[in-house]
């Protein structure tokens, strides 16, 4: 499906690039391997931009955090140290607090359809504008979901939610992550993904909050991770961004080409990722990881506990209550 959409996009969206006397290269930072979904999407986007521009716009990819760790991408984009990236919105939250609204309790147990409704609707457009204003960057289009968060553990098999009590769990950072883990009786430990291998080896943490892609990218089973609790704790979508300096350098024709390319590719990207979720879960199973699904009454009790804490959490993390209300309305409509 992705291939068909790309072919259609090429036919409809090739724009003039006569303003370019020679190829212009832009540094595209990717904090992942090009073999995992996040890296695959980045590579396909870069290749398509180069194809449509007839080689005049080149997104030169630096994978596996060669330029900056994922947590530093938002600041690097803001400063112009990198030109292009598809950062995690939860990490943008350290600069624009509303960006990691997808980590709020309302997204606990949300579906991909609900997340996409928010990203594509008025709340998503509002978020993109806030990111642009706060970071001084250009958001190239709607973001895409990257799978829900889950918890994977080393020794303790989490057959029930009570089994997470007392565990030291790696979290990407921020009060929203703390709230979810503390509600489970676990202790959050904020560690960058790039430092996770050392933390697991040294026993700094004995569990990890991440998504399926993170488990496979890091081959966490090789670091002692044996179990996965399928809890869908929240979401951390990715969003395509260019630094303002790189965006201005594109010129009007280049800007139209890049944004049109992303818009044309997005439906295919999402379809591709839907298919890859099964492949990621299979890779975990092939590595002999065991999966656990908590009981419905446990999940409901946790959801109620988190939602009761949401107003105070929104205040603490400076989430705009009007934006949160708009998000909840869109999610409710998408649920029907």
For the chain, the domains span 2-86+240-280, 150-235+283-335
* Element spanning 28, H or E: strand 24-29
Residues 6+ apart with CB under 8 A from 114: 107, 330, 331, 334, 335
* Element spanning 330, H or E: helix 321-335
CATH number of 150-235+283-335: 3.40.190.170
Question: pLDDT digit string (tens) for 142-199?
Answer: 999 988 889 999 988 998 999 999 999 998 877 888 888 999 999 999 988 888 999 9
Question: pLDDT digit string (tens) for 299-333?
Answer: 999 999 999 999 999 999 999 999 999 999 999 99
**Sheet (strand 24-29) strand order:** 57-62, 24-29, 84-85, 241-243, 137-139
Reported in sequence order, the residue ranges of 108-248 that DSSP labels E, i.e. its strands, are 137-139, 150-153, 168-171, 187-190, 207-210, 227-229, 241-243
> Can you read off the two tokens belonging to residue 191?
């560690």
**Residue 102 reports pLDDT greater than 60:** yes
Residue 134: CA atoms inside 13 Å, Cβ hemisphere, count? 16
Which 3 state secondary structure label does DSSP give 153?
Answer: strand
User: For residue 20, what pLDDT band results from cuts at 50, 70 and 90?
Assistant: low
Indicate if 150-235+283-335 has the same CATH topology as 2-86+240-280: yes
Question: pLDDT digit string (tens) for 33-79?
Answer: 898 888 999 999 999 999 999 999 999 999 988 999 888 999 999 99
Assess if CATH 3.40.720 describes domain 2-86+240-280. Answer: no
Q: Which residues pair with 152 in a beta bridge?
A: 208, 228
């Amino acid at each position: 499906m992705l291939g068909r959409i790309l072919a259609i996009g090429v036919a409809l969206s090739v724009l003039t690039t006569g303003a370019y006397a020679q190829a212009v290269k832009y540094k595209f930072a990717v904090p992942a391997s090009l073999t995992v979904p996040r890296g695959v999407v980045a590579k396909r986007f870069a290749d398509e931009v180069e194809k449509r521009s007839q080689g005049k716009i080149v997104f030169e990819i630096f994978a596996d955090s060669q330029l900056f760790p994922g947590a530093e991408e938002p600041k690097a984009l803001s400063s112009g140290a990198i030109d292009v990236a598809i950062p995690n919105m939860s990490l943008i939250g350290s600069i624009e607090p509303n960006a990691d609204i997808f980590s709020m309790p309302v997204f606990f147990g949300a579906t991909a359809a609900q997340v996409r409704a928010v990203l594509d609707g008025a709340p998503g457009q509002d978020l993109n504008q806030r990111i642009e204003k706060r970071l001084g960057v250009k958001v190239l289009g709607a973001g895409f979901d990257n799978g829900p968060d889950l918890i994977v553990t080393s020794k303790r098999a989490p057959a029930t939610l009570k089994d997470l009590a007392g565990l030291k769990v790696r979290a990407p950072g921020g009060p929203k992550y703390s709230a979810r883990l503390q509600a489970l009786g676990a202790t959050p430990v904020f560690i960058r993904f790039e430092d996770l291998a050392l933390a697991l080896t040294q026993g700094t943490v004995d569990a990890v909050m991440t998504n399926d892609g993170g488990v496979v990218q890091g081959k966490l089973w090789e670091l002692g991770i044996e179990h996965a609790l399928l809890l869908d704790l929240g979401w951390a979508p990715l969003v395509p961004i260019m630094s303002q300096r790189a965006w201005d350098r594109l010129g009007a024709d280049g800007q139209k080409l890049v944004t049109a390319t992303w818009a044309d590719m997005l439906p295919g990207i999402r379809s591709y990722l839907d298919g890859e979720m099964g492949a990621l879960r299979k890779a975990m199973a092939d590595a002999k990881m065991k999966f656990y699904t908590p009981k419905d009454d446990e999940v409901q009790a946790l959801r109620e506990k988190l939602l009761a804490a949401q107003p105070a959490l929104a205040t603490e993390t400076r989430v705009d209550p009007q934006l949160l209300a708009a998000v909840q309305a869109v999610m409710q409509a998408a649920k029907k």
